[in-house]
């Protein structure tokens, strides 16, 4: 299964998927392109370091979402992408990509959805004082962090927890859960 990873930032989830492929923890999955709306993103550098094709763009260079998504779609088609994985992509997808990849786009989010949607889900959980938060991998629709849930993992917030310790615990679970879900999707595709 050929996947495109979309990332705007650090790209630790992108790196985790790469590592799972390299170590053969997941098989029959290939990252054929990294897409980023931020040419300066660390994720972009990480992709270049391992010679994964990259497509970057700046939203301000386009008149609207449809225009840049059409260009993204062209790149994905060229690479025969089957699935899109959003890993820290800080934009809502528009109709062009949602329609072309209906049911074939997933996202990873650092909370137990539907709690703490949107930005800084980890900070929101700490501020609220919940004792349990976690990680969700879900199919993407037009909403922000909505769409059918595929898998979740709980993470406990213990006394004395700091933002840094919680980020670390959440990331550990993201880096395990996301590749696992990708593998299960690849298995389903192969069985079709």
- Is 10 an interacting residue with respect to ligand GRF (CB under 6 A)? yes
Q: CB under 6 A: which stretch of 3-11, 18-26, 51-59, 96-104 binds ligand GRF?
A: 3-11
Indicate the pairing of strand 2-6 with strand 83-86: parallel
Three-class SS of residue 19?
Answer: helix
For residue 114, whether the previous peptide bond is cis, meaning omega lies within 30 degrees of 0, is yes
- Is 12 an interacting residue with respect to ligand GRF (CB under 6 A)? yes
- Is 109 an interacting residue with respect to ligand GRF (CB under 6 A)? yes
Shorter beta-carbon distance to ligand GRF: residue 14 or 101: 14
* Closest distance to ligand GRF from the beta carbon of 16 (Å): 8
Edge-to-edge order in the sheet of strand 149-156: 54-56, 30-36, 2-6, 83-86, 105-109, 132-139, 149-156
Candidates 3, 4, 5, 7; binder of ligand GRF (CB under 6 A) is: 7
- Is 123 an interacting residue with respect to ligand GRF (CB under 6 A)? no
State the binding site.
Answer: 11-13, 65, 90-93, 107
Q: Is 138 a catalytic residue?
A: no
Angle at which helices 121-128 and 163-191 cross, to 10°: 130
Q: Which residues are catalytic?
A: 109
């Amino acid at each position: 299964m050929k996947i495109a990873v979309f990332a705007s930032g650090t790209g630790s989830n992108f790196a985790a998927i790469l590592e799972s492929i390299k170590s053969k923890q997941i098989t029959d999955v290939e990252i054929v392109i990294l897409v980023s709306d931020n040419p300066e993103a660390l994720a972009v550098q990480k992709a270049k370091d391992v010679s994964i094709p990259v497509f970057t763009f700046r939203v301000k260079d386009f008149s609207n979402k449809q225009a840049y998504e059409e260009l993204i779609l062209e790149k994905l088609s060229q690479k025969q992408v089957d699935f899109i994985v959003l890993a820290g992509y800080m934009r809502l997808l528009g109709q062009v990509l949602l329609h072309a990849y209906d049911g074939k786009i997933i996202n990873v989010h650092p909370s137990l959805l539907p709690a703490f949607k949107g930005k800084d889900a980890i900070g929101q959980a700490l501020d609220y004082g919940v004792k349990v938060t976690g990680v969700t991998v879900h199919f993407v629709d037009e909403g922000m962090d909505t769409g059918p849930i595929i898998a979740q993992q709980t993470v406990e917030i213990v006394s004395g927890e700091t933002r840094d310790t919680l980020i670390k615990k959440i990331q550990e679970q993201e880096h395990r859960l996301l590749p696992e879900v990708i593998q299960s999707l690849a298995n389903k595709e192969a069985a079709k």
